[in-house]
A and B are shown apart, each in its own frame.
Chain A
Amino acid sequence: MENRKPILFCSGGGCTAKLGAGVLERILSRLPRGEADPALLVGFDSRDDAAVYRITDDCAVVQTLDFFPPMVEDPYLFGQIAAANALSDIYAMGGTVKTALNIVCYPENMDLNILGTILQGGAEKVIEAGGTLVGGHSIADSGVKYGLSVMGTVNPAKMLQNNTVREGDRLILTKRLGVGLICTASRVGEASKEAMDAAAASMTMLNKSAAETAAEYPVHACTDVTGFGLLVHLDEMLDGRFSAELTLSSVPVFPEALSYAKEFLYTAAGQRNRNYMKGRADLSAVPFEMQEVLFDPQTSGGLLLSVPEEAAEEMKQALRAKGLPAGIIGTVTMRQDCAVLIRE
């Protein structure tokens, strides 16, 4: 990798730039809907990862988009991460990536070579996902933002929604938590190179391998853990109808993220996630720094799968056999006062 010019800022970025979940809900609930289309299998009504629209009995289109400001200095790496993050939602629905469109915001007086490098990173990730880059749109803006609008396909019978968990299911997470904290610490010069490299490797990894493994097992529900952090995404899966009990020691975590949380290097987005979960999670057994990791916005995080108990251990082993740091993090239970309880 030759000497790449760094992006000159990194004032937040990644999934820490997301608007809070509560804020969005209010606005979205007031939008006009139009006439209901029976071919729409997954849309606005559920807070799922992507929209799914049936074309034929065995083929549906999966549609999603994601873009954000940079969370790392290196433009190529930023392109790779932003693309992996956007592509992830297709995998979270059980789909196959087909085409992608670039979404670009870029300052007029900034070096265009840097933009070229960002786009190269993104393009190579799309190819790795087996998709094709088919176009895009760019506008001048005060800051750099990049991402993709992605189209995939899925067999409606095999599509994975995020809120179809069942009581007794085990929850499996396929990537480590804490990349948000590591990137934030890196921005203020307090992250080790090892931690940043490990976080980068995690963020650039497609959820393709995890999705392909999961497809060989019964899966009741699936989402990907991104800007809302583990707990809020889990709360979405439970949909007010179930609760979950998590075992802290089984949650895959970057140890450095815990150290950086102890240094209070958390973000505004993390705090918004914490505010959203107020009254919904029992954190009494959770040390402060681990709480921050559970709220930490993940850029291009792993899949969170809800699988029947009898398949969980085998699926976890299969994921680990592919080199994924998968862990069985908890169990879906019947609805209790608290949406999420966390034990040692």
Chain B
Amino acid sequence: MITVNALGQACPIPVVKTRQAIAALNGAAGEVETLVDNEIAVQNLTKMAEQKGYVNTFEKMPDGNFRVIMSIPTGEAVQAGQPEDTAEEEEVVCDCSVPEAVKAGTVAVISSDTMGEGSKELGAALIKAFVFALSQQEKIPEKILFYNGGVRLTTENEAVIGDLKSMKERGTKIFSCGTCLNFYGLTEQLKVGEVTNMYDIVDMQMKAGRILRP
């Protein structure tokens, strides 16, 4: 029996030390006894044992402390390490319902109703051409985000709206920033897609695999 002395130690130390003792068994069966000085620690240890499926008991000792005993079966490999990998996996959005025409994880971000610096007239023509070219791709973006001047494209620009609608039909999700629509007085004129907000604009880009900016 391995004894873990966790008297005077606050949770999660009793659990951490017990895990280490279990790891020290190296896969052999055995008993681990943990000493704690309060009932809450007993409960926290019992929770772990129950989740792991270890047979466990506890008793109160004459000096007022507690003994928790766990029977560890063979083949128990306890990983007391960095769990960030699991966290990463949980963060990535796996949308298994992504349509075939859509390139999952690709987000286009359009922040103006013109493309590039220089002539505005040229810029207006370029952004129209950009959206058209996007719509002609074999795999279209999963999402397109519009903010600031970009919201003019989802409200006032008929040609662009047409291309966006065709992408929407094939599975692209179109979003326009609500604050921006409001600012330009275009809230009632949204012709394609839905309203979004800064939190989601950031969130969608954080979760994107690739971001396209004209």
A145 at the interface (CB under 8 A from B): no
User: Does A321 contact B48, Cβ atoms closer than 8 Å?
Assistant: no
Interface segment among A59-67, A95-103, A132-140, A189-197: the answer is: A189-197
The CA of A275 and the CA of B41, in the complex, are separated in Å by 13
A322 at the interface (CB under 8 A from B): yes
Chain A residues, Cβ within 8 Å of B51: 264, 288
User: Does A267 contact B82, Cβ atoms closer than 8 Å?
Assistant: no
- Binary CB contact string for chain B from 72 to 89 against chain A (1 if under 8 A, 0 otherwise): 000000001111101100
B24 at the interface (CB under 8 A from A): no
Q: A255-B87, A323-B202 are in contact. Are A188 and B12 (CB under 8 A)?
A: yes
Interface segment among B25-33, B105-113, B160-168, B193-201: the answer is: B193-201
The CA of A326 and the CA of B198, in the complex, are separated in Å by 12
A268 at the interface (CB under 8 A from B): yes
A262 at the interface (CB under 8 A from B): yes
Q: A320-B199, A321-B199 are in contact. Are A268 and B10 (CB under 8 A)?
A: yes
Chain A residues, Cβ within 8 Å of B178: 317, 321
The CA of A323 and the CA of B197, in the complex, are separated in Å by 8
Secondary structure type dominating chain B contacts: helix
Taking a contact as CB atoms closer than 8 A, the residue among B11, B48, B86, B195 that contacts A268 in the complex is B11
Interface size class of A (residues with CB under 8 A): 20 to 34
The CA of A260 and the CA of B84, in the complex, are separated in Å by 9
Chain B residues, Cβ within 8 Å of A317: 178, 195, 197
Interface size class of B (residues with CB under 8 A): 20 to 34
Chain B CB within 10 Å, residue with most, of A184, A192, A259, A323: A259
The CA of A142 and the CA of B43, in the complex, are separated in Å by 28
Q: A264-B19, A321-B199 are in contact. Are A271 and B12 (CB under 8 A)?
A: no
B179 at the interface (CB under 8 A from A): yes
User: Does B90 contact A259, Cβ atoms closer than 8 Å?
Assistant: yes
User: Does A11 contact B10, Cβ atoms closer than 8 Å?
Assistant: yes
User: Does A262 contact B197, Cβ atoms closer than 8 Å?
Assistant: no
Chain A residues, Cβ within 8 Å of B48: 264
Taking a contact as CB atoms closer than 8 A, the residue among A12, A255, A266, A325 that contacts B44 in the complex is A266
User: Could you tell me the distance in whole angstroms from the C-beta of A77 to the nearest C-beta in chain B?
Assistant: 21
B91 at the interface (CB under 8 A from A): yes
Q: A192-B87, A195-B87, A263-B83 are in contact. Are A271 and B15 (CB under 8 A)?
A: no
Chain A residues, Cβ within 8 Å of B86: 259, 262
Chain B residues, Cβ within 8 Å of A321: 178-179, 197-199
Q: A192-B87, A259-B86, A264-B19 are in contact. Are A322 and B12 (CB under 8 A)?
A: no
Would you list which residues of chain B between 49 and 88 have a CB under 8 Å from chain A? 51, 80-84, 86-87
B120 at the interface (CB under 8 A from A): no
User: Does A320 contact B197, Cβ atoms closer than 8 Å?
Assistant: yes
Q: A265-B12, A268-B10, A271-B43 are in contact. Are A255 and B82 (CB under 8 A)?
A: no
Chain B residues, Cβ within 8 Å of A260: 83
The CA of A12 and the CA of B87, in the complex, are separated in Å by 23
- Binary CB contact string for chain B from 1 to 45 against chain A (1 if under 8 A, 0 otherwise): 000000000111101100100000000000000000010110110
User: Could you tell me the distance in whole angstroms from the C-beta of A317 to the nearest C-beta in chain B?
Assistant: 6
Chain B residues, Cβ within 8 Å of A271: 11, 40, 43-44, 47
Residues of B within 8 A of A (CB): 10-13, 15-16, 19, 38, 40-41, 43-44, 47-48, 51, 80-84, 86-87, 90-91, 178-179, 195, 197-200, 202
Considering the complex of A and B, which 10 residue pairs feature the smallest CB-CB distances, nearest first?
A320-B199, A321-B197, A192-B84, A259-B83, A255-B90, A256-B87, A264-B48, A268-B40, A268-B11, A320-B197
Residues of A within 8 A of B (CB): 11-12, 184, 188, 190, 192, 194-195, 255-256, 258-260, 262-268, 271-272, 275, 288, 317, 320-326
27 contacts between A and B (CB under 8 A): A11-B10, A188-B13, A188-B16, A195-B84, A195-B87, A255-B87, A255-B91, A256-B84, A262-B86, A263-B80, A264-B12, A264-B48, A264-B51, A265-B12, A266-B12, A268-B38, A271-B11, A271-B43, A271-B47, A288-B47, A320-B197, A320-B199, A321-B179, A321-B197, A321-B199, A323-B198, A326-B199
